[in-house]
Amino acid sequence: MINLDYASTTKPSKEVINQIAIALDEDYLNIGAKYKQAKAIEKKISIIRQGFLSFLGASNGEIIFCPSATAANNLAFSVINPKSKGKILVGAGEHSSVYETAKHLSNMGATVEFIPLGANGKIDLNAFENKLDSGVSFVSVMLVSNETGAINNLKQISKIVHSINPKAIVHTDAVQAFGKIDFSVDDIGVDMLTISAHKISGPKGIGALYSKNIDALRPIIYGGGQEYNLVSGTENFAYISGFYTAAKLKVNSLASDYLKVMNYRKHFLDSLDNANVEYEINGELDNSSPYILNISFKGVRGEVLLHALAEYDILVANGSACSSKKRGNRTLESMGKNKEQIDGAVRISFCANEEYNFAYIAGIFKKIIDEIRV
């Protein structure tokens, strides 16, 4: 199998699988129990929380483990009281776990406005500044787009928002950024940030929200009061420790993986050129994550291409897997792409742990595109 769909998910590494197996075997006790043996596992979790703060470059704040990044994004939005007057600004190209939560709050009466994207896939900063006033209370803009790889300038965004209202909360969904591009919470100045394990060779079903100040958060799951009384449910130590192992490995290899994947992206595009495949890049290569590339092929439907490539055991995506049940593509639409460009788009995403034969892959693209082009 040739996997070019790693933005959708990754394979857990051997180290992660081993760590999860050890934790399931040795540390299976309920952390909520009163005996010291359970407290020892709780201690391990608090060391892991400190570890994540350090990976994220956060000098203060808390890590709240959640059953997914989707849950973490929902938790971030729990600070919003839909009856209060504050203005909420959300990027138009956000992942559905942010976008749909924002829409739900809007239906509940909150004042929500979506910030359009520029042709480069980042939020349009002029449009953003025009929407900003001192009434802004919450802003959510993703660090790296899961559709195009575009990197938003969160440092600038946080600075502008906090200069207009120092109490406003800036949240970023960093699911496609963490372990892949270099950033630190202290530098970008966000108040909340979401990460997920299964995008970095960790297990599915675990994510986390970093929050500078957890007092404003409200429970999203009621019950026994675990995770600061915000996300009740017995702590999943095995996955928390698997997530930690994955994060440690990715943070250590971030710089070398980044260079490797930059090379992959270049070689992929060079190979398409050499094979005389016509394509158009949606977004821009500069200032974007090399892990994700969105391209359109003229006269070709992305979905047909996806299925034809799958016959050759080559995996690509069109639209993110999490929103594949929904038609259209909000991100590309907001970037001003026309229907043909959107229909013809596929998302290619790389993994540094994989070796690719790009000349072979480009040859298959050429063969299929010549067959299916209308």
Under the rule (CB under 6 A), what is the footprint of ligand PLP?
Answer: 68-70, 95, 97, 142, 146, 173, 175-176, 196, 198, 207, 320, 322
Query: Which residue out of 29, 53, 164, 322 is catalytically annotated?
Result: 322
Nearer to ligand PLP, 95 or 301 (CB): 95
Nearer to ligand PLP, 316 or 362 (CB): 316
Least distance to ligand PLP, CB of residue 9, Å: 8
Termini Cα distance of the chain: 28
Q: Give CB contacts under 8 A, 24+ apart, made by 233-236.
A: 233/67, 234/30, 234/31, 234/32, 235/31, 235/32, 235/45, 235/65, 236/65, 236/67, 236/205, 236/206
Helices (H), 275-343: 302-311, 330-334, 339-343
Least distance to ligand PLP, CB of residue 143, Å: 9
Look up residue 341 and give its DSSP letter.
Answer: H
Question: In the block, which residue shows the tokens 């749909």?
Answer: 100
Question: Contact, 93 vs 143, CB < 8 A?
Answer: no
Least distance to ligand PLP, CB of residue 321, Å: 6
The order of strands in the sheet holding 207-211 is: 62-66, 207-211, 192-196, 169-173, 136-140, 87-91, 111-115
Nearer to ligand PLP, 207 or 344 (CB): 207
Least distance to ligand PLP, CB of residue 247, Å: 14
In the structure encoding, which two tokens stand for residue 34, read together?
Answer: 């009163």
Least distance to ligand PLP, CB of residue 98, Å: 7
Nearer to ligand PLP, 86 or 283 (CB): 283
The set of residues, in sequence order, having a beta carbon less than 8 Å from that of 65 and lying 6+ positions away, is 206, 207, 208, 227, 231, 235, 236, 240, 243
Nearer to ligand PLP, 198 or 265 (CB): 198
Catalytic annotation on 66?
A: no
Q: Identify the CA nearest to 340 among candidates 329, 351, 350.
A: 329
Least distance to ligand PLP, CB of residue 173, Å: 5
Question: In the block, which residue shows the tokens 């792409």?
Answer: 337
CA–CA separation, 182 and 351 (whole Å) = 16
- 132: left (phi > 0), else alpha (psi -120 to 50), else beta? beta
Nearer to ligand PLP, 86 or 207 (CB): 207
Question: Residues with catalytic annotation?
Answer: 322
